[in-house]
């Protein structure tokens, strides 16, 4: 597999190990009911390291999705800047450096699993042979090689979400942005996919920004958990997760895990 | 038939159709019997169904050369061809306009009110105007069928473009897809069900319209024969045959669109699992 990462070049030419730098970021929306504005995010400062698995966790409405969308250039900042490898999010998007996984699978229902995974590569104009090979690799990665011929309506929610992940990885993006990808799934499927995601991450070594409202999930997956609090959306804590890797589901029964979950839970303000 | 098969039959929607058809025949026949008792020429008002069916197989000439059914079928062909051409032209124009309206919102704002207005003019009012402009009954038939097709196709396709979920568009955006690719890979395929809804509405309408235009002037076509038959220039059973044939053609035209839709969208064909012949899929 071609996951070998090119050495990144920043504008200064110095590799400081920072993948995404968020400085003094604020995002405001006009309020529907009044003239006032909603502060979705205020004064966010955050550095995300290269290759790091980072989670944004918080109750709904605290601005997790907005932060993710701002990194992906789907939302413009009201104030402050987001820098990705020394470049603007827009430049990175145009170079197709982001792989995005949404909460719903967002599959094209007229395409089979294979053709869904293939779609981004068609846009890039890659030759068919390469596309076919990469599609198989990606489906293999998410354990769906045998289901490539299925249409979305023939697959379970978990399978659909795995196709979505395979599609996000198909363009070999530098950064994987995931917005509550497993929150619509049942507990068993979610746990299985959590483990799968970690093994994919250990192979692919992408930088992952993972949004969730599930504290245990964020602790299990992440190198660091960023705790967001609402009204206005802000960072109230960043918790280092020093559990050893590779991690398996059993780690959740250890006292260290429980302690970390408590630390994250106690970091919320004004909820 | 055993009990299980009966159960299956009543669980399927088929029996609804059967009940409807039987009910219709019953009402028709009661009506025909009543009419036969009070009118001197009941076939002008409501003949029995067996009389109409009988007239289809009758070898009696309805004019100098043709039997009733021969007249009906040869004229049906004329009407159907014109309706078909008009339908195809109208569908293409409607789709193109929907594309334009979705590409440029200014076009939508400018044109949509006129679309609504054209739609509100009744065919019977529009037909003489079109005839006066084209001065040709054949062209009028095509134009009217096209106008009637145009509106449902354009509006349905446009709402299909608009119904695409935000996240599907954002996925394209995040992949820096060109506008052309967004339409080709996302908007057009996902609006196909809407397009076909428009086509299914339009197809029977185009045929009805074409028949109506026929009645304006001689020169053949089902509508023309209908009015001649009603004026007793030929047997009244030509009229009754046309009534039934038009209904059948209308239903078939709808079915044709439904069949076409299934043909171009295999992913909607079934609820069940596809045969597991995965490995050899030609395009990835
Ligand atoms: N497009 C928008 N227009 C107006 N308000 C928005 C928009 N997107 C998000 N918001 C508001 O910003 C706040 C944060 O939303 P969001 O980022 O979706 O939170 P989360 O993903 O954590 O649930 C919420 O109060 C929400 O109502
Ligand atoms: Mg959200």
Residue A139 falls within a domain, yes or no?
Answer: no
Q: In total, how many domains does chain A have?
A: 1
Residue A269 falls within a domain, yes or no?
Answer: yes
Residue A194 falls within a domain, yes or no?
Answer: no
Contact B284 A131 (CB under 8 A): yes
ipTM: 0.88
- Summarize pLDDT for B67-76 with one digit per residue, the tens: 888 888 988 9
In the sheet that holds A234-240, the strands lie side by side as: A98-101, A175-179, A207-212, A53-57, A224-229, A234-240
What predicted TM-score, i.e. pTM, was given to this entire model?
Answer: 0.83
The mean per-residue pLDDT over the stretch A236-240 comes to: 94
Please indicate whether residue A75, judged by its CB atom, sits closer than 6 Å to ligand 1.
no
pLDDT given for residue A14 in this prediction = 54
Please indicate whether residue A68, judged by its CB atom, sits closer than 6 Å to ligand 1.
no
Facing A154 at nearest CB: one of B192, B273, B284: B273
pLDDT given for residue A84 in this prediction = 95
Please tell me the least confidently modeled range out of A2-6, A191-195, B83-87: A2-6
pLDDT at B16 > cutoff 90: no
Q: What is the mean pLDDT of chain B?
A: 86
Residue range of the domain that includes A89: 17-42+52-97+204-271
pLDDT band at B272 (very low <50, low <70, confident <90, very high): very low
Residue A75 falls within a domain, yes or no?
Answer: yes
Best of A136, A154, A178 to disrupt the B interface by mutation (most B CBs within 10 Å)?
Answer: A154
Report the first-to-last Cα separation within chain B, whole angstroms.
48
Contact A93 B176 (CB under 8 A): yes
Residue A3 falls within a domain, yes or no?
Answer: no
User: Averaging pLDDT over each range in B16-25, B38-47, B119-128, B164-173, which range is the top one?
Assistant: B164-173
- What are the backbone angles phi and psi of residue A15, rounded to the nearest 5°? -90, 105
CA distance A229 to A233: 5
CA distance B252 to A112: 31
- Summarize pLDDT for B97-114 with one digit per residue, the tens: 999 999 998 888 888 888
Residue A217 falls within a domain, yes or no?
Answer: yes
CA distance B117 to B64: 45
Residue A155 falls within a domain, yes or no?
Answer: no
pLDDT at B115 > cutoff 90: no
pLDDT band at B271 (very low <50, low <70, confident <90, very high): very low
pLDDT band at A198 (very low <50, low <70, confident <90, very high): very high
Element (H, E) at B180: helix B179-181
Tell me how far the alpha carbon of residue A3 lies from the centroid of ligand 2, in angstroms: 29
Nearest CA-CA partner of A69 in B51, B186, B174: B174
pLDDT band at A4 (very low <50, low <70, confident <90, very high): very low
Residues of B with Cβ-Cβ distance to A171 under 8 angstroms: 175
pLDDT at B10 > cutoff 80: no
Ligand 2 ion: residues within 5 Å (CB): A 65
Task: Characterise B220 by phi-psi region: left (phi > 0), alpha (psi -120 to 50), beta (else).
Answer: left
pLDDT given for residue A2 in this prediction = 46
Q: Of the residues A40, A177, A212, A215, which should be mutated to test ligand 1's pocket, given the most ligand atoms within 8 Å of the CB? A: A40
In this structure, what DSSP letter does residue A237 have? E
Query: Could you tell me how far CA B248 lies from the centroid of its own chain?
Result: 10
Q: What is the CATH number of the domain that holds A234?
A: 3.40.50.300
Please answer whether residues A226 and A233 qualify as being in contact, where contact means their C-beta atoms are separated by less than 8 angstroms: no
The mean per-residue pLDDT over the stretch A175-196 comes to: 91
């Amino acid at each position: 597999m071609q996951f070998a990462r090119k050495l990144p070049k920043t504008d200064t030419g110095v590799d400081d190990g920072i993948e995404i730098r968020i400085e003094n970021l604020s995002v405001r929306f006009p309020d529907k009911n009044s003239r006032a504005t909603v502060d979705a995010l205020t004064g966010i400062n955050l550095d995300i390291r290269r290759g790091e698995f980072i989670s944004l966790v918080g109750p709904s409405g605290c601005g997790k999705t907005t932060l993710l969308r701002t990194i992906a250039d789907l939302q413009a900042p009201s104030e402050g800047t987001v820098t990705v490898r020394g470049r603007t999010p827009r430049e990175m998007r145009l170079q197709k450096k982001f792989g995005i996984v949404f909460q719903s699978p967002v599959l094209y229902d007229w395409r089979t699993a294979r053709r869904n995974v293939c779609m981004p590569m068609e846009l890039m104009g890659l030759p068919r042979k390469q596309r076919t090979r990469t599609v198989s690799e990606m489906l293999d990665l998410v354990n769906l090689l045998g289901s490539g011929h299925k249409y979305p309506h023939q697959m379970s929610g978990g399978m659909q979400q795995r196709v979505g992940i395979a599609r996000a990885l198909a363009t070999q993006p530098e950064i994987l942005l995931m917005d509550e990808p497993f929150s619509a799934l049942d507990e068993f499927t979610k746990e299985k996919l959590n483990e799968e995601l970690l093994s994919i991450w250990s192979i692919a070594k992408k930088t992952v920004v993972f949004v969730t409202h599930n504290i245990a999930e964020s602790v299990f997956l992440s190198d660091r958990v960023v705790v967001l609090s609402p009204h206005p959306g802000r960072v109230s804590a960043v918790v280092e997760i020093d559990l050893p890797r590779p991690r398996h589901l059993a780690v959740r029964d250890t006292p260290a895990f429980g302690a970390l979950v408590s630390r994250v839970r106690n970091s919320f303000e004004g909820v | 038939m055993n009990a299980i098969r009966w159960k299956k039959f009543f669980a399927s929607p088929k029996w609804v159709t059967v009940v409807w058809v039987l009910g219709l025949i019953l009402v028709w026949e009661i009506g025909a019997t009543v009419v036969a008792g009070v009118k001197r020429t009941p076939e002008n008002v409501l003949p029995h169904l067996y009389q109409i069916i009988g007239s289809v197989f009758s070898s009696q000439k309805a004019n100098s050369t043709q039997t009733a059914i021969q007249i009906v079928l040869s004229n049906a062909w004329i009407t159907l061809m014109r309706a078909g051409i008009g339908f195809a032209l109208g569908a293409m124009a409607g789709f193109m306009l929907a594309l334009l309206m979705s590409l440029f919102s200014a076009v939508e704002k400018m044109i949509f009110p006129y679309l609504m207005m054209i739609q509100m003019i009744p065919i019977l009012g529009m037909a003489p105007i079109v005839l006066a402009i084209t001065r040709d009954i054949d062209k009028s038939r095509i134009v009217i069928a096209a106008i009637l097709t145009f509106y449902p196709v354009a509006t349905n396709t446009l709402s299909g473009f608009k119904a695409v979920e935000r996240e599907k568009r954002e996925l394209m955006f995040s992949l820096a897809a060109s506008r052309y690719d967004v339409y080709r890979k996302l908007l057009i395929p996902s609006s196909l069900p809407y397009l076909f809804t428009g086509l299914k509405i339009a197809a029977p309408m185009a045929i009805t319209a074409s028949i109506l235009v026929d009645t304006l002037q001689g020169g053949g076509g089902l509508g023309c024969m209908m009015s001649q038959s009603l004026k007793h220039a030929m047997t009244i059973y030509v009229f009754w045959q046309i009534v039934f044939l038009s209904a059948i053609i209308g239903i078939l035209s709808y079915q044709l669109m439904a069949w076409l839709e299934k043909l171009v969208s295999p992913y909607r064909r079934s609820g069940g699992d596809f045969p597991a012949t995965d490995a050899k899929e030609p395009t990835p």
